Amino acid sequence: MNNDLTAELAVKGYWPAKAKEYFDNKKYSKTVELCTSMLKDNPEVLSGRILLAQALYHSNQLNEAESQFYRILQVDPNNILALKYLGDLKFRAGDNIVAFSYYERVLKLDRYTTGLRSSLAKEELDRSKEITLLTFRKKGESIENTRERLRQLPFDTETTGDLLMEQGHTRMAGNIFRKLFKKAESPRLFEKLEKIKNLNKQVASQNAIKDKME
C-alpha cells in the first residue's frame, strides 16, 4: 500500500490505513491504541493485527508482540513478516536455534528475500529488518575479531550454514558444513561444499581479471 493510497483510505475512515499512518510515523502508542480498540469488534482484520504486533514490538512490549504474531500464524501459517519478527524475538532472547528455524522457514517461502540480510561491517542495524548478527559485536571490537568469534558460535547446524551462505558469508558457511560432514557424511552436505568451492573459484577468477585490468 503506497503512501498516497494509505492517506486516501485513512481520510475515508478505513482504520487499518490510519493505523499504518501512525506506524509509519513511529507513533507506536497510537497504533496500538487504535488497533486494540478496533480489533475487539473486527478480530478477523489481519492487516490490523499485523500492525498491532509490529507496533508492540517497536514499543518494546515484546511478550504482547509475540502473542500477536502467534495469532497471525494461526490464521496465516506462512506469513513471512510474522515468521521474521518471531525469529528476531527469539534471537534477541538468546534462543538461537529456534530463531534460525524461523529464519529457515522464511527462506523456504522466499529464498530471495532480502529481509534476512546482514552485514558484518555495518555499525547500526534496523532491528525490524535485519538479522542482528552484530549483537555479538563488542564495543570497539574490530570487524576481523567479530568474524572470528562468529565462526566459534555454538550453533553449528546446517540451518545456520544455509542462512550464512544465503547472506554471502561463504567461508563461515563452509566451515560449518565441513564440521558437519566430518561427523556424518551426507550427499546434501557434499553438494553444498561443492557449491561453495565453485563460488570461491568464481570470485577468485573475477578478482584475477580485475587485477589484470588494473
Q: Which structural domains are found in the chain, ordered by start?
A: 9-110 (1.25.40.10), 146-214 (no CATH)
| 100's grid cell | 534460525
- Separation CA 170–CA 173 (nearest Å): 5
Alpha-helical regions (H) of the chain: 3-11, 15-24, 28-39, 46-58, 62-75, 80-92, 96-109, 143-151, 158-166, 170-183, 187-213
pLDDT at residue 57 in the model: 95
pLDDT at residue 120 in the model: 39
Above 50 in pLDDT, residue 104? Answer: yes
Q: What is the DSSP letter of 141?
A: -
pLDDT at residue 122 in the model: 37
Specify the pTM: 0.55
pLDDT at residue 189 in the model: 82
